[in-house]
Structure 1
């Protein structure tokens, strides 16, 4: 009887160890909600299938209704690897124990993409200047609060630099995904909307009949391409598998090249670090500084104090960026 109990206990222990081993190799891949979950799954699942085959990992796609859902899922370890925009990657690094390890590359050779302000081609809004002078007549489709191209970049380059607070200046502001904003413009549900060249390329290639219905009113400076982030506490062996897969995926294989191109005109992936996020952090701090300067509810002393603190952070980022560039030049 004792022997039988030992055998059963040993079997239970072995089962527990096996379960833990399998669990350690099972990952959730969070993908930000630039589009509907079904569309994102269609584009990304073939790559995830290849990831599983080539690494032996068990990776499953994870979708949420907004960017914050993926950030929070990584924070609570429900997601271990994610595809983010630069602004949401900052949140993942700062709040969710994330680490940037790769970025997408574009088939056209660009180092990034461009945020846009778009309208319907038949709209009465013919120019950016016309929109900015008549904001109280304009319904704005805005991006997710954690979106780089949908919110952060246009808030800074398009609105703040023109002395406009987007949240209060427009007739209405309707935050949504890139896909929803694109369709809202095409279907005349909003007057103008923020978006980006990635989504415009998707419309051009996958729904070419809709492409002529979009007019671009504004194009931002180039924004670094979107990063991939994994949790810092992943086993090193798992990190190595992920880095190796993405570093070499679609280098030569035609089928793999077709898969990444179908996601959003990508050609593959490149190795990366958290240094990619420095320019986006600087932009966010400059935007915050402008908000403090224009805040009528703060007295002069509070403004000086907050601006001094922000200037210190900006200077620290400048120094970090200079050091990184110096190290890169020395190699």
Structure 2
């Protein structure tokens, strides 16, 4: 795949993993969830799975030896709800999804708290097939990078909760690759 652009939110093309727990939980950080019930968002999610796995491997453990049990919700929204509803003691969610969810469901967000925030990672990219016609590649890239300059583009971006798309480099994703490598993700 070839990189096209990354979405920018609040002036930054970055996101983080939030470790959340019920608002009433005594947990102060991720490691306080040892022996507890946990929700991963998705097996392929950086923020919803790989970051907490990285924390666990730093302690020489696995998800099976660290948590009492864990589930996959297959959605950051569902992970937030699982914590709010007391189905699990904690979850890992994408900070951007958390912020968007908070705007739509403040009553649910009031039932959870963030106890740990990871380092920032470059926003997930828009990508294209490398074998596309070079003229089409240029048109696609230009469309994304200039979208915020038109009224129609701004409406689309606003609906998505994105300010604009920005140019990116492959090297910006090296921290993601490094964490994936350390947790044994292919």
What TM-score, normalized to structure 2?
A: 0.88
Match of 2:164 in 1: 268
Q: Offset at 1:252?
A: 5.2
Displacement, 1:164?
3.2
Q: Deviation above 4 Å: which 4+ runs of structure 1?
A: none
Name the SS of the counterpart of 2:100 in structure 1.
Answer: helix
**Deviation of residue 286 (structure 1)?**
2.9
Following TM superposition, by how much is the alpha carbon of 1:130 offset from its aligned partner in structure 2, in angstroms?
Answer: 6.4
**2:102 & 2:155 partners in 1: Cα distance?**
17
Q: State the shift of 1:129 in Å.
A: 6.3
Counterpart in the other structure of 1:126: 27
State the structure with bigger RCO (CA 8 A, min sep 6), 1 or 2: 2
Number of the residue aligned with 1:102: 5
Larger Rg: 1
Aligned equivalents of 1:237 and 1:262: distance in 2?
28
1:162 to 59, 62, 71: 59
* Residue of structure 2 in register with 1:203 after alignment: 101
| Structure 1 residues 159 and 198, CA gap change in structure 2 (3 angstroms) | same
In 2, the alpha carbon distance for the partners of 1:181 and 1:223 equals: 20
Which of the pair is proportionally richer in helix? 1
**Aligned length, in residue pairs:** 184
Listed as ranges, the gaps of 5+ residues in structure 2 are: none
Q: CA deviation at 1:251?
A: 3.1
TM, length-normalised to structure 1? 0.51
CA distance in 2, matches of 1:129, 1:100: 33
SS of residue in 2 equivalent to 1:183:
helix
Q: Structure 1: how far apart are the matches of 2:30 and 2:181?
A: 26
Structure 1 counterpart of 2:43: 145
Structure 2 CA distance for aligned equivalents of residues 272 and 111 of structure 1? 9
Question: RMSD of the alignment, in Å?
Answer: 2.1
Paired residue secondary structure (2:119): coil
Unmatched tracts of structure 1, length 5 or more: 1-97, 292-331
